Structure 1
C-alpha cells in the first residue's frame, strides 16, 4: 500500500437523500423519516472524515522513499498525519452509533456503515498518537525508534479504513440509485415532468456523467453520448419552462450548465491524452476551487458537488416555505 489511491467519491452527492424525501408529495411515515435520518448520518460521517483522512495519509507518507517499508530514520523532513477538525470527528461518533441503532435495519447498508465507523475510530486513535509524536518532535529524543514502531500499525489501520470507505461509498451509491429511480417513476406518474422531477433527474444524470469521466481511462465515445444526453435534458427542462421565476432553480440550472462545460473540457483533455503538468499538480495540492486545472477530474467533481449543493439548498428553501 505504497500510495493511497485517489478516489473521486460521489458520496457527497448523496446528500440529496434529503431531496428524495422532500420531492415526494405523499405522506411520509415515521419509518421513512428514520430511514432518511439513518442514511444522512452515514453520509455526514463519510463526508466529514474521508477527504481529510486521505489528505493526512498523503502528508504522512509523502516524505518517505518507500511507504510500505516505512521511515528509515534518516529522513531530514518528516511530518505527522495531522488531525481532523473536532466537529468532523464528532460526526462519526455519537450520531453514527445512534443511526446504526435506528430501525428499520438496512441490511445492505448497515454492515458497511458499522465497519466504517469502527475502522475510523481505531485509525483515529493511532493518528492522534502519531501526530502528537511528530508535533512534539519526540523522534529527536528516542533515536527515531518511535517512527518505526508506530508505522506498521498505522498503515494497517489506514488500509482497513480505506477498504471500509470503498465499501460504504459503493453501498450508499447503490441505495441512492435505487431510491432515485423509484422516486422519479413515482413523481412522473403523479405530477408529470415537474420541477421536482427535473431536479432529481439532473442530479442523477450528472452523477452518472461525472462517474464515467472520473475513471482512470474514460470511454470517450460513451462520455460524449452521455454529455449529449445531459445537455438534451437541460434543454428539455428549459423548453418545459419549469422553475420560471424561482431564483433557486436558476442557481441549479447554472450549476448544471457548469457541469456540462467541465465535462466537455474533461472529454477534450482525455481525447488529447493530455496529462497534468507538474505546475497543475502543484495547483491541485494547493487546494481551492480556483486552482483546479481545466479538464481535470477534480475540476469536474467540484462542478458536480456544486450542482448537488445548489439542489440541496433549493430543497431546504422549498421545505421552509
Structure 2
C-alpha cells in the first residue's frame, strides 16, 4: 500500500528469483502519522521504487549467462548486464529526509547506507555495460570481465543487504501505522467496509512477507494464507449482507486472485512440485515470471494488482 491514498507510491520488489528478501507494497496512511513522517518515509520508498528492481534485475541478467565463479570467455551467449537509473536524486532525497523530524535513527542510518551503496553500484554497472555492449571481451579474451566479476558480486551483495535493512526499517513503521489505523477505524465505525478492506491489505501483506522469507516456512505460509482466506470470506459475507457495502468488485476480484496464487505457491512448496523447463525459462527472464502459476513473481504481480485496486479507492 502507500503513504497517502492520493499520492500513491508503490514499493516495487526486485526479482524474487534472485533470493532477495523483499517487501513489496506498504500500508496506507494512518490517523496518527504526521505529515513530516509521511514525507520522510515517502523519500525512502521513492528510492526503493526507482532503483531496487532495476538493480536486482541487473544481477539476474548477468547470472543468466555468467557462471557463479565468473565469466570464462567461452560462453556461447553473453548478455552483459543492465545499468540502473541516476542515483543523485535518491541521495539528495535521503539527505533531506534524514533531517526531518521525528527522527528515526536506525531507519535514517539504513537509508544513508542504501544511498551510499546504490551510488557506488551505478558507475560500476555503467562500466560493465559499456564493456559488454561494445563487445570488448572479444579483444581482451574476457580479461576485464573476469576482473569485474568480484567487484560486481561484492557490490550486489552490499546492495542487497542495504536494501533489506531499509525495507525492513520502513516496514516496522508501516506495520505500526497499519495497526493503529485499523484500531481507529474499528473504534469509530466498527467492522464495516473500511475495516474489512484495511484488514485485507494487512493480511495480504503478511502472506507476501512470509512467502519471501529467506528460509521457506510452510507452516507459517499456510497459516498466513488461512488467515487471509478468512478475511476475504468475511469481506464476501459483509458485501452480501450489506446493501451499501462499498467494497468494490475489482478489489474483491483482485483479493481472490491473490488468494488463489498464494495457495498455488503453498501447494508447490508442500508437494515439492518442480518447475517445468518452460516455466524455468520464463522465470529466468525478467518480466515473464508472472506467467508461471504458483510462482513468486506471479504472487507479487497479483499482490501489486490488489494494491492498485486499493489505491484507486476500493469502492469507498
TM range (shorter): 0.7 to 0.9
After superposition, give the CA deviation of every residue in 1:42-73 in whole Å (9 maximum; x if it has no partner).
11211222122112112223333343xx3334
Corresponding position of 1:83 = 83
Distance in 2, Cα, partners of 1:286 & 1:155: 20
User: Aligned in 2, Cα 1:125/1:216: closer, same or farther, shift over 3 Å?
Assistant: closer
Distance in 1, Cα, partners of 2:114 & 2:65: 27
Deviation beyond 6 Å, 4+ runs, structure 1:
none
Give the number of aligned pairs: 298
Corresponding position of 2:57 = 55
RMSD: 2.8
Corresponding position of 2:251 = 252
Corresponding position of 2:19 = 6
Corresponding position of 1:210 = 208
Secondary structure of 2:272's counterpart equals coil
After superposition, give the CA deviation of every residue in 1:168-188 in whole Å (9 maximum; x if it has no partner).
122122222122112212221
User: What are the ranges of 5 or more consecutive residues in structure 1 without an aligned counterpart?
Assistant: none
User: Aligned in 2, Cα 1:94/1:195: closer, same or farther, shift over 3 Å?
Assistant: farther
Give the TM-score, by structure 2 length: 0.82
Distance in 2, Cα, partners of 1:98 & 1:152: 33
Give the TM-score, by structure 1 length: 0.81
State whether structure 2 residue 243 is matched by structure 1 residue 238. no
Which structure carries more helix by proportion? 1
State whether structure 2 residue 149 is matched by structure 1 residue 151. yes
Corresponding position of 1:134 = 132
Distance in 2, Cα, partners of 1:271 & 1:74: 39
2:290–2:297: 8 Å Cα contact kept in structure 1?
no
User: What are the ranges of 5 or more consecutive residues in structure 2 without an aligned counterpart?
Assistant: 1-16
Deviation of residue 85 (structure 1)?
Answer: 4.7
Distance in 1, Cα, partners of 2:141 & 2:286: 35
Corresponding position of 1:278 = 277
State whether structure 2 residue 29 is matched by structure 1 residue 20. yes
User: Aligned in 2, Cα 1:159/1:221: closer, same or farther, shift over 3 Å?
Assistant: closer
Deviation of residue 111 (structure 1)?
Answer: 0.9
Corresponding position of 2:291 = 292
Distance in 2, Cα, partners of 1:269 & 1:78: 32
Deviation of residue 290 (structure 1)?
Answer: 8.1
